[in-house]
Amino acid sequence: MKKTRIIVAKPGLDGHDRGAKIVAMALRDAGMEVIYTGLRQSPSDIVNTALQEDADVIGLSILSGAHMRICDRLLELMNEKGIADKPVVVGGIIPHDDVEILKKKGIAEVFGPGTSLKQLEQRIKELAEKK
């Protein structure tokens, strides 16, 4: 039986991952296999992990404000490595105006601060199945 595998990664230099861990645990409790990478992962680290783990979905938690730069580089590297088909979702603190821009670039979903764990779980399942 195929299980949903998701990477929860914390790119950038901001130093705590409490939020990302809570999300990771919730997704685990929803029956997913969550590959947790820890702090300070570069886009290249994350792409390497996604490739080796054959993740269905890549989840990023970004609080640093550097989401544009990180996502640009990530999507570029995913293309290079032949894994552009994997959906990327972003959570954290993303200004409202940036959400559409990120989606246009190819980010599958942006979870704002008001998103419930239930909604998050639902959407990730959808994306994993669509893939």
Partner 1 sequence: MNRNDLLSGDELSVSKALTVVESDRVAARSLIGSLPEREYYVIGITGSSGAGKSTLVNWLSVSFSDASRTAVLAIDPSSPFKGGAFLGDRIRMNRASRSGKILIRSMASRGMVGGLSPSVFDAVELLGRCGYHYIIVETVGVGQAETDIVNLSDVVVLVLAPGIGDEIQMMKAGIMEIGDIYTVNKMDIHGADQLANRIRSVLDLADVKREIVKTNSLTGTNVDRLYQLLIGELNRREKSGKIEESRQRRREIAELNTAFSALKEAHSRGVKLEAIMECINRLREDG
Residues that bind partner 1 (CB under 8 A): 1-3, 24-25, 27-38, 45, 48-49, 51-54, 81-83
Q: How far is the CB of 53 from partner 1 (least distance, A)?
A: 6
Q: How far is the CB of 85 from partner 1 (least distance, A)?
A: 11
How many angstroms separate the Cα of 15 from the Cα of each of 21, 41, 73? 13, 11, 21
* Positive or negative: CA dihedral 88, 38, 16, 75: negative
- Supply angle C-alpha 36, 38, 44, rounded to 5: 90
Nearer to partner 1, 35 or 57 (CB): 35
Question: Taking Cα atoms as reference points, which of 86, 91, 90 lies closest to residue 127?
Answer: 86
Nearer to partner 1, 68 or 83 (CB): 83
Nearer to partner 1, 88 or 110 (CB): 88
Give kind and range of the element (H or E) at residue 5. strand 5-9
Alpha-carbon span 76 to 27, nearest angstrom = 27
Q: How far is the CB of 42 from partner 1 (least distance, A)?
A: 9
Nearer to partner 1, 62 or 94 (CB): 62
Q: How far is the CB of 123 from partner 1 (least distance, A)?
A: 17
